[in-house]
Amino acid sequence: MPEPSKGRLKIGMLGAGAAAQWYYLPATQHWNDRLQLTAVCDVDEARAGQFADQYGGTAYGDYEAMLGDPEVDAVAVLTPHRFHTEQVIAALQAGKHVLVEKPMAEGFSDAVQVCEIAERNGLHVSCAPPNMLHPGQRRLMEIVAKGVIGKINLIKMSQNSMGPGARPGAPTDFSWFYQSGAGGMSSMAGYGLVRLTGVLGGVKSLAAMSTTSIPERVMRDGPAAGKRVSADVPDNNVIVFDMGNDTLGTMDTGYVAMSSESPMMSLFGNDGTIEVYGGDQVLRIRLYRDDWKTNVDGWQDVDIPGLDTRWALHPATLLSLADAVLDGKPLLNGPRQLAHVIEFIEKVWVSAESGQRVDMTSDYTPPTWDELPVETSDGKFGLV
C-alpha cells in the first residue's frame, strides 16, 4: 500500500494558454485529491481571471506577485520557452517547487543553474516531457534491460511534427513557437531524447545538420488564423550520435513532418528489433525476434499494462511532483536528465554551425525500469 498522503499540493499555474487549458487545468480537477489549484497567472489578466473563475484560485497578471502568495506551494511554468529560465529560477528563489514545461531552461548553463538552486534549497523541479512516467516507457526499459534483443547496436529516431500553428483548434496565437527562443527542436526533441536516455543513458557525442526548410509559416486556426510568421530558428535538424559501447544512432527533429506511420524509435540489437510508436508517449511496442530455440519468430505486439492515453499525457508531471513533495517519493522526471537533453540541443547548434562532431560534457544514468511508477486503470500512479 502506498504511504498516506499529507494533503494536497497547492499549485499556482503560470501561463493559462493552450497547455494549461488542454492538460493542466483539467488535471487539477481530475486529481483533486492530490492537487489544489490556488492561483492562475497570465500576462493576459483577463485570461487568468477567466480560468481562475472556472477552476478556482486567485488570478494574477504578474508572476512575481503570485510568487509572494503563501497559498502557492508549487508553480507550474507553462509560458513560452524564452521565459522559462527566469521564471523557474524566480520560483525556486521564492521557495516554491516547480513544474516546468519543455524546455526546462533556455541553455545548458541555465539548466545546470536550475539543478543547483533546486538541490541547494531542497526543492523539486518536475520536468516535461513526462515520458519517464508512462507505462510504455517502463515496458520498453524492461524489455531492453532483460536483454530480449541483446546488445543494441543501432538506434533510429524521428521526433517531428508540423508545429502547433499547423493544427486546428488553437486557443492562442502560436506564432512564437517558430521564433527565436523557441523552435521545433526545443519543442520536439525532448520527447525522443527522454525516451532514449531513459533506456540507454547519456549521449557521448553528436554531429548535426540544421536548416530552415519552411521560412514562412501561416497560422492555420484560432485567434491568429491567417497570420504569416517568418521562422527565425532552423526547423529541420538531422543528427548522428554516439551512445558509447559501439552504439550509434540517428535522429530527425523539428517542424517539417505532417504525419508519419513509421516508428518514433527503432532499436536494433544482436537478437532482435524493437519498434516504438507514439509521439508524446509510447503507445505501441513491436518486437521482432528470430529465435529457433524459443520458437519466437517474427513480429509481435508487446502488451503495455496500465496504458491510459488521456490522463497519462502531460499532467503526469503534476502528479509526480505531488508524490515527491507530499510523500517523499523519488522524482523520476527530474532536472538532471533534462539538463542533459538541453546540452544535446545546444550541441546540435554548435555542430551544425561548425560542421564538426561535438562531445557532450554531461551524462545521465537512468533509474531501473522497476523504479518507474505503475499506472492503475484511472491513470493514477500506484500499485496494480
Task: Return the residues of window 127-166 that contact ligand NAD according to CB under 6 A.
Answer: 164
Residues in CB range of 46: below 8 A, 6 or more apart: none
Q: Is 189 in the site for ligand NAD (CB under 6 A)?
A: no
- Selection from 251, 273, 276 nearest residue 262 by Cα: 276
The phi, psi pair for 346, rounded to 5°, reads: -60, -40
CB 39 within 8 A of CB 69: yes
DSSP strand pairing (216-218 vs 228-230): antiparallel
Task: Return the residues of window 286-315 that contact ligand NAD according to CB under 6 A.
Answer: 314
**Closest distance of CB 354 from ligand NAD, Å:** 27
Measured distance CA(153)–CA(170) in Å, rounded: 41
Q: Is 181 in the site for ligand NAD (CB under 6 A)?
A: no
Measured distance CA(266)–CA(249) in Å, rounded: 10
Characterize 152-177 residue by residue with b for buried, 16 or more Cβ atoms within 10 angstroms of its Cβ, and e for exposed: bbebbbbbbbbbbbbeeebebbbbbb
Measured distance CA(74)–CA(96) in Å, rounded: 5
Q: Is 45 in the site for ligand NAD (CB under 6 A)?
A: no
Quick one: which of 33, 44, 64, 232 contacts ligand NAD (CB under 6 A)? 44
Sole window of 13-21, 152-160, 232-240, 375-383 interacting with ligand NAD (rule: CB under 6 A): 13-21
User: Which residues is 75 bridged to in the sheet?
Assistant: 12, 98
Contacts with ligand NAD: how many residues (CB under 6 A)?
24
Residue closer to ligand NAD, measured from CB, 19 or 123: 19
Measured distance CA(366)–CA(137) in Å, rounded: 12
Sole window of 35-43, 238-246, 303-311, 350-358 interacting with ligand NAD (rule: CB under 6 A): 35-43
**Closest distance of CB 203 from ligand NAD, Å:** 22
The SS3 assignment for 75 reads strand
Q: Is 17 in the site for ligand NAD (CB under 6 A)?
A: yes
Sign of CA dihedral 327, 328, 329, 334: positive
Sole window of 73-81, 281-289, 344-352, 365-373 interacting with ligand NAD (rule: CB under 6 A): 73-81
What is the number of residues in the chain?
A: 384
Sole window of 12-20, 204-212, 225-233, 360-368 interacting with ligand NAD (rule: CB under 6 A): 12-20
Residue closer to ligand NAD, measured from CB, 99 or 199: 99
The SS3 assignment for 259 reads coil
Measured distance CA(270)–CA(153) in Å, rounded: 7
Q: Is 81 in the site for ligand NAD (CB under 6 A)?
A: yes
Quick one: which of 35, 78, 125, 304 contacts ligand NAD (CB under 6 A)? 78
Q: Is 16 in the site for ligand NAD (CB under 6 A)?
A: yes
Residue closer to ligand NAD, measured from CB, 43 or 238: 43
Residue closer to ligand NAD, measured from CB, 22 or 277: 22
Q: Is 193 in the site for ligand NAD (CB under 6 A)?
A: no
Which residues of this chain interact with ligand NAD, rule CB under 6 A?
14-20, 41-44, 47, 63, 78-81, 83, 101-102, 164, 172, 187, 314
